[in-house]
Amino acid sequence: MNYQETFTSFQDNADPEAAKKMSAYMRGQFPFLGIPTPKRKILSGELYKSAARETAADWTFVNRCWKKAPREFQYLALGYLAVLNDQLSPEDIPRLKNLIITKSWWDTIDGLDRIVGRIALRFPRLNSTLRTWSLDKNIWLRRVAIDHQLGRKEQTDTRLLEQIIINNFGQEEFFINKAIGWSLREYSKTNPRWVKNFLTRHQARLSPLSLREAGKRLPDTLRFQ
C-alpha cells in the first residue's frame, strides 16, 4: 500500500497553534500536528478507500503509524484498522495487544476496544483471552476487556460482561471505574432491568463513579437509588 502521500499530507497540514491546544487537552501526553478530526478524515479518505479493497491488514503500515510521534498518526492507523475490521482474525490479537499497551491513553483505547470487540463477536473463543485481560496488571487491557462489548445490544454476552466487571471490583483507577459505568450504561439502553438488577446485587462493591455512570440511562421506573 502506498501511504507516503498521506504521511506527507499530514505533515503539510500541521497547525502549531492547534497542536498546542490538542496536546494540552491530552495532558501533554503526546505531541500533535494540530489537524482537526474533519480535516484529518478528508486527508485520510483516499487511503481508506484503498484499504477497503484489501483482504488483510498491512501491519507494516500500522506499526509505522504507531512509531511516529504526532498523535494523528495513531488515529490514522485506528481508522485504517476499523475499515479492515472484518478482515481481522484472532491471529491479529497479539498485534492489537501490542498497540493497546503502547502509547496508551483513552483516545486510542476507545477505538481499539471496538476493533477487538468486533473480532471477538465473530470468534467467541477469544472470550477466554478477554477474561485474562480483565485481570491483567495493565489497566488498558482491563479497560478493553470491560468495554469490548459496547454497541452489541441484544448480542451482549451478559455472563461475560458480569464476570469481567466483577474481576475489576475494588479498583481505584479512574479509567477502570469509568469503563465499568460506561459498559453498564450502554447495555442499559437495551436491557435496563438486567442493569438495574446487577447494580442492586453489587452496589456495595461498585465505586460511586461506576454507579453514577451506570444509572444515567435507566428509566425513571428503574432509577437506581
pLDDT in tens, 166-208: 999 999 999 999 999 999 999 999 999 999 999 999 999 999 9
Give the C-alpha separation, 141 to 135, whole Å. Answer: 9
Predicted pLDDT at 219: 84
pLDDT in tens, 46-105: 999 999 999 999 999 999 999 999 999 999 999 999 999 999 999 999 999 999 999 999
Predicted pLDDT at 104: 97
Predicted pLDDT at 2: 78
Predicted TM-score (pTM) of this structure: 0.94
Mean pLDDT of 19-40: 97
User: Does pLDDT of 138 surpass 60?
Assistant: yes
Share of the chain above pLDDT 70, in %: 97
7-40 burial code (b ≥16 CB/10 A, e <16): bebbeebeeeeebeebbeeeeeebbbbbbeeeeb
Architecture label for domain 4-169 = Alpha Horseshoe (1.25)
**How sure is the predictor about 1, in pLDDT bands with cuts at 50, 70 and 90?**
low
Q: Are the beta carbons of 6 and 44 closer than 8 angstroms?
A: yes
